[in-house]
Each structure stands twice: as structure tokens, then as C-alpha cells.
Chain A
Amino acid sequence: MNIMLNLRAVKGRAYPRIIGALREPSWVFWQTFLPILGMAAYVYVYRSLDAPKEFEGFVVLGGVMTTYWLNVLWGMASQLYWEKETANLQLYLAAPMSKMSILAGMALGGMFSTTVRGLSIILIGVFIFQVDFVVTNVLLLIAIFLVTLVALYGMGMLFASLFLMWGREAWHINILLEEPVYFLSGYSFPVKALGSVSAFASMIPFTLGLDAMRQLTFPSMAEWGLLLPEVELTILVAMGVFLIFCARAALNRMERLGRAKGTLTMRWQ
């Protein structure tokens, strides 16, 4: 594997994302301000039910991680479908770089706007909703956050491979995955409440990462934690490595299938 080539490819593909965000600042309204309204609605649901204050914090933290999940779904996984429709995909595939470099570039580039959104959510949580984050272990929190992102983006790359084969079906699967994943990952509630279903839900990196981060920022709600944060970190590391390997294999396999069936360059599938 040519490392310099792939690093340059990552840089090359990240560039349009960053420049696009700077040149068309209307994303701040569409992808930062407006989505926060949806998250705020869940905070008010808890207030209407007289829930403990920490539950509002769960929603805020869930909102932060959800922005990365949405970036995975829409900024990366389904992006290959969009690239196919705009005739860029064939140029990417005919180039010598790895497909994972392209996806990594998209993910890194998209992280700029995603992180702005995440930070906005935290600021609103703290200053508007008066959520009190009590961080018990900063290093562990950062480690879990970063490893969760790696695992999540690995999962995104796996989904992206589907788009090499399918067209609109994969796009609709993307739409379908939003809410069920919110539910299974405990986006706005502690996943332990799902009982035995939480074991299945733990297969999503988002679930364990969010659960661990909640335990480290709301220690008073530790009884709602699924597993110890350290254990969840270990599982996330294994998951991340596994997902990235699977993504690589799936991308190669799906590309080959796409080449055999002729769907790589087929538009409006």
C-alpha cells in the first residue's frame, strides 16, 4: 500500500468539504441551529415528565454523538451514491488511491462542520438548559470519544460499500437506519432500560461509546451504566479494528461485484 498516495488522497477529498463549508456558510443554519431544535424537544419531554436533571444531560450528550452518526450516514456512507450520480465515482475508482482514503477524506472534511455542531450542542446544553457535566476522568473520556469515532466511521465505511452495489435501496436504508439506531443506542435515554435488548444494541459502537461517556460525565447516574467504561473502551477498540477490516474487505468485494454487474457507473439506479 502506497501510504503517501493515500494520505494525499485523504487530504484531497477532505479539502472540498472544508472549503465548501467555508464558502457556503448557510450550513450553520441547516446543520447546526435547526437540528438543535429537535434535540431541545427531547429535553422538554423530560421536563414535562419531571425527570431527573441528568436525563436532560443524556439528551445533550446523545445529541453530540448523533451529529457524528449523521455525518457517518450522510456525509460518508451515502456519499458514494451521490458521487456515482454526479459521475465522480468512476474517476475515483479508476484512480490508484484506496477507496478508504476517499471515505476517510470525506469523514475528516465533514468533521469540521460536525464538530462545530457538536460544540454548539454542548454550549446550548450548558448555558441554555443548565446541564451540569461532572467529568470524572478526562483522559478516559477523550479516549472513549476518539475510539468511538474510529469505530463509527469504520461502520460507515462498511455501509458505504453497499452503495457501490445498490442505488436508491441503499439510500433508503440509510434513511431507515436513523431512528432505529437512535433507539437502540439510547440516544436520549440510558440504554440499560432496554434490558436484554441492550446486548444486541451494544453491537453498535455508538451505544457503548455513549453509555461510557455518560457514566464519565454524570457519575450520579452510574447505576444506569451498562458496563464499566474501561470494559466498554476495550470492546470499542476491538470493534473499531474489526469494523475497519470488514470495511476494507467489503469495499473490495462490493467493488468487484459492482464491476461484474455493471452498476458502478450506472446512474439513477
Chain B
Amino acid sequence: MSVKYSMWLEYQIEANWTSPLVFVLYNTLKPVGGSLLLLAMYYVVTGGFLGSDALYYLYIGNAFYMLVSQTLFSVGWIIHDDREHYQTLKYVYISPMSYFVYLMGRSAMRFLLSILPLAVLIVIGIFLGVPYRIAPLLLVVTFIFGWIFIVSAGLLLCGINMLTARHGESVGQAFAGIFYLFSGVIFPLSVLPGWASKFSLWLPSTYWFSLVRRSVLGGEVDTIMGGFTTSEVAVILLAISVVFFVISYVAYRFADFLARKKGILDMSTTY
């Protein structure tokens, strides 16, 4: 029940600020703008838009990255928003509903709302000639695993935000930058320096994006990730995601404890 209400709240905050038409337009223009940037970069180097694994890699990676960045952008904002904007954090916190469950509910709705811009980009990809070979079951599994790792990252971020000042609205997006750089989202891992590509193999997002490519494009073009079978990628992703979730949960609980100990759970840090 608590999850339902926190999901409802997230919808009210994130989706209910304008008319449906403007909302759809917003969820179209934003991801398209991000993709156009990458397409333009591709174009200035290669002189074209069509028929290249590199382009499809870049495009699909960026499209699914929208799910990560949009969810983390909003989740990264929940603590600061509740604490300093709406000043409801303490009231939700002391209610019988677990604050952890509340955060899970809000991030779940945010994840669901982020599927709309992803869908827009998938459709646009058809016109770009992206050779979709969608494996529905694998795609569903990919979404489920995606939710686990994104929510874990969000939980970690929330824990950190409990202890830090409100520096700005983009902390969530900035946090997502870790995945953007180290997960083979828009370029193959082999381009990274050796230590960085080794580090990438410890991130759940690396395996998630590989699963994305396999479930949408029907194969893996990254030379490093291509060395794993789909089953291996799925199992490793599940294992790392569980570990990541546990680490994030522990970190969140510790941050929660520290915030209460220091008396900063409802602090005001605007400047």
C-alpha cells in the first residue's frame, strides 16, 4: 500500500505539472535533443548517418541511458526536495511507512515515466535505420534488472544527499555520469584506458547496457563484452546487482543513522 501511495506522489510531482500534450512534448524534445547531439558528433566525423554498428551502438546506448539519467535526476532530487522545498521529509519519515519503501515507490514511478522518452527514441531509431532485432523476453528481463540497479544507485544517492547540502538540481544527472563514462553506453569499453575498462567490469550498468544491445539489436558489438554469452551477462548482472543493492542499502542505512545522529535530517542548506 505504501509503495502505491509513494508512486502516486511521484506521478503528481513529476507528471502533473502541465497539460498532457505539453507533457508528451517535453518527454519528446528532451531525449531527442540529447540524441541529436550524438548524431551530430557522428556526422561531423563520418559525414553520414547510416549503416554503421558504431552509430547504432551510440544511438541505442544513449536512448536507454535516458532511463538511467532521468530516473537518477529525479531520485537524486527527492531528499533535497522533501527536506527543503516541501518540508515534508520529517513527516513522511516518522509515519508508519518505511522511508526506504517510500523512496522505492517514488523511484519506481520515475522509472516508469522515463519509459516514454525511451519509446520516442526507439521509434525515431526506425527512421535512422537502426536494425532492431528485439527479443521480447530478454527485453523484459533487461528492464527488471535495470530497475534493480538504477534503484540501487538511486538509494545510494539518496543516502549521500541526506548528509549533503542542496547544491543544485543536477546532482542526480552528474551521478549518472559515472555510468555514462564507464559502462560502454556510447562507445566501446576498449576505447577506455586499461584501468578504466577493468573498473567497468565491476559496474552492473556495464552488463545492463550489454543486455540492452543484445535484446534490442540482437547481438553485442563491443569486443570486451562480446566475450561473454548472453546468459553469462545476465547472471553476472544479477549477481552484481544484488551486491550493489546490498551495498547501496547498507550505505543508505548508515547515512540515515548519521543524519539522525547529527540532527541534520531536516536541515536547511539553501544558499
Which residues on the A side are within 8 Å of B42 (C-beta)? 49
Contacts A41-B177, A176-B30: A49 and B165 contacting too (C-beta < 8 A)? Answer: no
From B31, B46, B165, B173, contact of A24 by CB (8 A): B165
Q: Is A220 an interface residue (CB 8 A)?
A: no
Contact of A47 among B22, B30, B191 (CB under 8 A): B191
Residues in A neighbouring B165, C-beta threshold 8 A? 20, 24, 26-27
**A243 → B minimal CB distance (Å):** 22
Which of A30-38, A95-103, A143-151, A205-213 forms part of the interface with chain B? A30-38
Say yes or no for A51: interface residue by CB 8 A criterion.
yes
1/0 per residue B12-55: CB within 8 Å of A? 00000110001000100111111011101111111000000010
In the complex, 27 of the A-B residue pairs with CB atoms within 8 angstroms, ordered by the A residue number, are A30-B164, A34-B174, A37-B180, A37-B182, A41-B185, A45-B41, A48-B54, A48-B191, A50-B45, A55-B45, A70-B170, A74-B168, A74-B170, A78-B169, A86-B84, A86-B270, A172-B17, A176-B33, A178-B30, A179-B34, A181-B33, A182-B33, A182-B37, A183-B36, A189-B44, A190-B44, A193-B44
B11 within 8 A of A: no
List residues of chain A with CB under 8 Å of any chain B CB. 16-17, 19-21, 24, 26-27, 30-31, 34-38, 40-42, 44-51, 55, 70, 74-75, 78, 82, 85-86, 167-169, 172, 175-176, 178-183, 186-190, 193-194, 224, 268
Q: How far is the CB of A125 from chain B (nearest CB, A)?
A: 15
Q: By the criterion CB–CB under 8 Å, are A37 and B40 in contact?
A: no
Query: CB-CB < 8 A to A36: which residues of B?
Result: 177
Q: A-facing mask of B89-128, CB < 8 A → 1, else 0?
A: 0000000000000000000000000000000000000000
Q: Which residue, of A26, A34, A46, A78, has the highest number of chain B Cβ atoms within 10 A?
A: A34
- Kindly identify which residue among A21, A37, A85, A169 contacts B181, using a CB–CB cutoff of 8 Å: A37
The secondary-structure label for the interface of chain B is: helix
Residues of A within 8 A of B32 (CB): 180
B151 vs chain A, min Cβ distance (A): 19
Residues of B within 8 A of A17 (CB): 271
Cβ of B167 within 8 Å of any chain A Cβ, yes or no, is yes
The reply to whether B40 and A41 contact each other, CB–CB distance below 8 Å, is no
Residue B219, interface by CB 8 Å: no
In the complex, chain B residues whose CB is within 8 Å of the CB of A34: 171, 174-175, 177-178
Residue numbers in B under 8 Å from A176 (CB-CB)? 26, 29-30, 33
The reply to whether A38 and B33 contact each other, CB–CB distance below 8 Å, is no
The verdict on B211 contacting chain A, using a C-beta distance below 8 Å, is no
Known A30-B171, A35-B170, A44-B191; further 14 A-B contacts with Cβ < 8 A: A34-B177, A38-B180, A46-B45, A49-B46, A55-B45, A86-B85, A168-B17, A179-B34, A180-B30, A180-B36, A181-B33, A183-B33, A189-B41, A193-B43
Please classify how large the interface on chain B is, using the bins under 10, 10 to 19, 20 to 34, 35 or more.
35 or more
Q: Which residues of chain B are within 8 angstroms of A179 by Cβ–Cβ distance?
A: 30-31, 33-34, 37
Is B187 interfacial (CB-CB < 8 Å)? yes
A46 near B86 (CB under 8 angstroms)? no
Across the interface, do A268 and B86 meet the contact criterion of CB distance under 8 Å? yes
Instruction: Decide: B187 and A169 in contact? CB cutoff 8 A.
Output: no
> What CA separation (Å) do A169 and B187 show in the bound complex?
35
Interface contact A51-B45, CB-CB below 8 Å:
yes
Task: Kindly identify, within residues 229 to 271 of chain B, every residue whose CB is under 8 Å from any CB belonging to chain A.
Answer: 269-271
On whether the beta carbons of A30 and B168 are closer than 8 Å, the reply is: yes
- Per the 8 Å Cβ criterion, residues 159-205 of B in contact with A are 164-165, 167-171, 173-175, 177-178, 180-182, 185-188, 191-192
In this assembly, does B156 line the interface, its C-beta being within 8 Å of a C-beta of chain A? no
Within the assembled complex, what's the spacing in Å between the Cα atoms of A176 and B23?
Answer: 11
Given contacts A34-B174, A44-B187, A45-B58, contact A193 B164 (CB under 8 A): no
Interchain nearest-CB distance for A257 vs B (Å): 19
> Contact between A37 and B33 (Cβ–Cβ < 8 Å)?
no
Closest to A269 in B: B17
CA A189 – CA B47 in complex, angstroms? 13
Q: Assess whether A24 is in contact with B185, with CB atoms less than 8 Å apart.
A: no
- The residues of B that contact A188 with a CB separation of less than 8 Å are 37, 41
Closest to B268 in A: A86
Q: Given the known A-B contacts A24-B164, A31-B168, A74-B168, are A169 and B18 also in contact in the complex, defined by CB atoms under 8 Å? A: yes
The interface residues of chain B lying within 8 Å CB-to-CB of A55 are: 41, 44-45
Given contacts A75-B168, A179-B30, contact A45 B37 (CB under 8 A): no
Residue from A35, A169, A181 in contact with B17 in the complex, judged by beta carbons closer than 8 Å? A169
Residues from chain A with a CB closer than 8 A to the CB of B269 are: 20, 24
Minimum C-beta distance from A156 to chain B (A): 14
CB <8 Å contact, B170 and A49 = no
Among B32, B171, B180, B181, the one with the most A-chain Cβ atoms within 10 Å of its Cβ is B181
